[in-house]
Structures are given as structure tokens and as C-alpha cells.
Structure 1
């Protein structure tokens, strides 16, 4: 999202900025400047820990607003109580959101002005996490992140990269422009603003007994990247994800499922939608699951699995007589005759587009970070060069935006 797009979305918006205590706080002056360039006003609330990294004077000079620091400042309480402060903004932004601050938010603590404001606000809250990679990956932080998302808190970042502590990995605060873009998306900017998308991702696990299941090798990386790319263009995205090791994409509503039946039900519950992208590798069959673990018995016949066909989620969405998404896109994971099989699949399923990819073991597509796909629509198949899965996602999202912007099935070269 460029200056024009995010500027249109943020112009006139009031941002209450809670500055947490981390080295990433040194980026906050630039964040304030970027927000004001786009017409937003910024009221900083500086935590005691945040004041170790940036000064109230510098924030006040850049924001041209008073910086609030103390809960029991009688002058401030007389002029503007913490309740009013928490509700006069259009959004509350916490940056950097440290592990400690996230934990205090989850616990509902109100032990200083910043946490009291967060407890008292009736406005949307967005956090930009920033911490050491080990702290980010710690189970407690991940539990807190999950709870904050469940509470409706929006999340921008974090990124992966080098940190001030010398380590490398996820936990680096999103860059100021990325946070600005996330705010812009929240306020409805982007070519897919007003559109609702359902994206399926990952594998499904079909239980055989309480400890075993039928699955496939899908990592979910491509589906998750598509969900994020559509959200980046302003779409309201519901990601229906089978079991993966991936974090939920920021700014996306994620519904976690295990089986194909659960995935179908979650997709139907997410309707109506304008866009459906079925990127999940859904198991074709499910077993009649045993109630107890199947035991290997010496000299006894092998257990026989009674298989039943799973629901066809792609065909079900494409074939709806009422409430069909305008654009239904499927994926075809093949190991041979990729374009031929995918073309036939598009006709059989009744979807609008198929993204075909070769998942032969030599390609490294399953579980890897790169993909080589062919986009199949009513026209000639279009083969894209090998690229990162994130780039595939962005290119596909751009094509979807073009489709809705031009009211037709074509796509730009």
C-alpha cells in the first residue's frame, strides 16, 4: 500500500499510541512522522519502560501533542481522564508490544496509565510485537498471542531478522511503514476493500484411531501466504486452516480445523463471501475411526480400514446455487501431466480458476518456500516462473484485485 492509499485511509484518524519498553521504541519517532504524513493525529502514551528508550519531549515535538505518562497526574485527570483518553481515538496502537506488555494485557492488569487505557478503551486495539526470538517463541508468549487474537486484538508483525541482541529470527518489530499499512488496511483501504474472502490452507488429518490419522505433506505455507496477501489488499479474510506449524497471519481471522468435514463446515459458516481460494490439500478419504488404539496382534490378520469419501469442498463452493462466491479458485497438486490434469479438474469442479503446481518430490514444493505454478482460467494457461510462495501469493492476490476492478475474468500480462 502506497502513501496515497494508506493516506486516504488514515486521513483524519486519531491514533492513541502506547509506547512499550523495548529497543524497537527507537523506531517510534519515525512511525509518528509516517502517520502524520498521512493525515493522522497521534497522542502518545509513554510507559515507564518506554521512557528508557525515547523521551517525552521527542515524542511530543513530533506528534505536536501532549505525551501522557502518569495515571495519577491530577492535572491530566482534571483535563482528560484515562477513560476519555482511551475513547477519543479511532484506534489504540501498542508499539513496541513487548512480551511483558502482552502478558499484562492478557491478564487484564491496570497498573499504569498504558494498561489502564487498554482496559478502558472501547476502540479497536492493534499491537506490533517486538522481542527476542526466544521470548517470541516461548509457549507463554504464543499462548498470550492466541488469547489476544481471540479477544479481537489486531496484530502487525513481527518480522524475521537480525536483532539488537545479536540473534536472528522472528520477533523483530514490523517497520513503521508496515505498521502504517496495517492501520490503513484496518480502515478499509486497498483494492479489495469491502470484499470478503475464504482461504483454505494446510492438510487435513483424518483419524484412524485416537493416535493415528491419514494426512499428507502440505505445510500450509502457500495458503497462509495467500490469506495474508489478500488481507494486505484490504479484503476481509477468513483463513480455514488444517493442522500446521505456522503462526496465524496478522490481520486475518483464522479458524483451526482438523478434518475435511470440519473444514467444509467452517467454510460454509464463513459465507457469504466474494472470493474463495481452496489451497488446502484435503484428504480424499476418511476412515471409520476406531474408539481405541488399534493393536498389532502377532499372527492376527491386519486391520482393514473402511474408507469413505470426504466432502469435495472446492466443488461444493463452486456448485452452490445460492450464495456462490463470485470468484472460486482451486489448487491442483500434481506429480505428472500437471496442466492437463488441472484443466480437467477446473471443468469437473466448476471453479473459475485453478492454480496448478508440480509437487513431485524433486521439486521440494511440499514443505518448501518456493513454488512454480500455472494459472488456468477460461483462457490460455499462464505459467509463472519459479518464485517464493509469498510472491506467488502476492501475484495471485493482484490478479484477484484486477478481476474485481475490471468486472471480468481476464488478467493483465
Structure 2
């Protein structure tokens, strides 16, 4: 064994250490390997095979690397540890939703908004048990544990020439890491000449980018529990950003993926955003001008605070996005009329005591404006095939606004359910696994 490389992957509940690629000095016969051939300290080995590179594969092939896959369900697999407190915002503070979905508010960004200008959810009559963070508050550094493992060859490994390497006490520790999809993003900082604000962001540029072609762009905005200056945090917390850049998605739908990392709560319970609300739009426009991005195929999505921003941006800038996916968030229904003219897919859990009634109020406004809403109730524990059929059934109606709610309690327990045990937080680890909604978003074009 010459060296070992750790391989990580992002799941709905965060980035996990899921494999080790062990390098040998000669090609290994994959047919002679089994799950008992290797041990990784403190981990459950699920599959072992050879490969020609330090990469996972559906099937093994003879090569100088042996891939040792590990169970993502191991407690020690999870690398994402959340955000610490700082500047007055608790790291566990959950993204805010309105205390009263129909309360009047302004969509105008307020650069001078401070924590004292926004009431917390705890002062409202809402039954939601976790107080919403205050606008302008900040978070501490994110905790992302390094992927490290020690591998022992526990069985005989046979080369393609027939030579056997006997099991022994030799151990090798990982010395480098491959972060699937995450490593494909680049990190930058945008200085907005209009607002004077700086905003760090992650950008995925399609592989083989060709300036003579035109590409769509997806903007993902994270929730308020992720307020931090650790720029890559939004990439490893969950699937909201990386799902669009997955190889299988990019093969079907090549696109830029933009994931800002907000250092402060941009919008809180009073729905009066900080200036980073407008800076986000200015960033989208700047990238559209810099790269060969189709201005008629700009898409927005976000979870909780990011969902609130998605709705607010569509109201203030109704001609910017061709379609948007709103996950577990809302905006005052009194301002929702412009949404009736947009292409929207809304996903929320029925047990979410703020976002669900808030979205119901918005849908009532949309329908009153004459726009038909494609409604559906889904089981959060459905598999990929079931979700595909669910999306197909809704999309077949041809509605421009679609509203899919998860049955109460169905996003909790099993699968990637959120550790907080709150249906608000457990919505997006499941929602962003649904490929059919991503496909629907890309089918929409801006008209007029």
C-alpha cells in the first residue's frame, strides 16, 4: 500500500466521509476482492473493488487503486458540524418564518437594519418553538471535520499477474481528500458598486464551458442557521447547492450554479432585508454579463431564509427569474400578487407551523388572481421512483404554480431527516433529492 485518499460526498444532512482509495504499486485483480479484504478503523466497510483511479464506481475494474466504501450511516461518517455562535446569533437558531403571513411589510432592502429592528418569533403568537434569528445578526465559524481514516489490509490482495499480497499489520492513513462535487466549485468575493457590500460566493462553471454557447444559472440561497464566513459551508451543509452540479444533472442540464455564503441574516421576521438582498441580484446580473449565461434562463431556489429571499426577490424583481423553487419559507401574503405571474414550485411540510400556513395564504392570493395552482400532498418517506411519479402527475397538469406539501410527520425519521426533529428543518434534506422538480425548473423559460 503506497497511499490512501479519503473520499467525501454530500447528503441531505451534510457532508460525509464515505470511501478510501488505497493506492498500490501494481494493478490489482478486482475479482479477488471482498468486503472483508480491508478494515478501516472505527468504520463499517460495505464494498471493496479495484479501479484505475482514486474514484468510486458502480463496478470494479482492474487497476492500481482499491476502493473501500464505507457506510454513510456510521456515526463518525458525518463531517458537517454546524455553525458556532457569534455576534448575537445562536448557531442553532433556525431560519425565520413570519409570525403573521399576512402582516404588512416592505420588500425594499434596508442597509441600516439591525438586530434590534426585527422582532423575534418568540414574541409572536406562533406555536413555532424555536425563535427566529434577528435580521443583521451574524454567526461564528462553521465546523467541518477533516476526513481522516486508517486502513488495514485484512485479507490477501492479488495482482493481475497472480501475485498475492498477504494480510498483515501494515496500516496506511489517508493523506489527501477528494470532496465529490464540492471541489468542483470555485470561491470568489463580489464587491457590489451599488450597495458597497461584499459577498463571498461559490460558483460552479460547467465542465467544458464554451463561450459560444448559452447556459442557464441556478441561484441557491441557504437558511439562517448557516450564517458564517466559512465560504464553502453552504456546499457541505446539504444538497441545496450541490444537487444542481451533480454529474448526472450536468449531463442532462449543463448550468452554472451560484451559492452565496451570507455572513449575516439577510431577512428576518419583519421582512425588511439588509442590503445583501439587493447585492444578491447585482451579483446574478454581474455573472450574467461576465459569462455566457442566458438571461432568460435564470433560476432561483432556497431553503427557509433562502426561500423567503426567493419569494421576496421574485416580488421586487418580477422580471429576473424564469422559475423558482421555494423550500420551507414564505413572505407576507399581502405582497404576493406578483407571484401569480411567475413559474413557481413550492415545497413545504404540513407540520411546519410557520411556512405551511404562510404558503397556504400565498396560494390563496395566487388563485384569487386567476392563476390555477397545481396542488399535491406527498409522503416524505417516498423513494426516488415514487417522487418521480408524483412530480410527473403534477407537471402533467400544465400549471405554472405548483404546491407540493409533505404529509404531517412524514419528513421525520428515516432517511435524511433533520436531527432537530422539527418539520421545518427536515423539509429540505428530502426536497432537494427530488430530481423531477429540478428538471421541471429547467423546462421553464422567461417570456415577455
Name the TM-score class by shorter chain.
0.3 to 0.5
Q: TM-score, length-normalised on structure 2?
A: 0.31
Q: TM-score, length-normalised on structure 1?
A: 0.33
Q: Of Structure 1 and Structure 2, which has the larger fraction of its residues in strand?
A: 2
Structure with greater contact order relative to length (CA < 8 Å, sep ≥ 6): 2
Q: Of Structure 1 and Structure 2, which has the larger fraction of its residues in helix?
A: 1
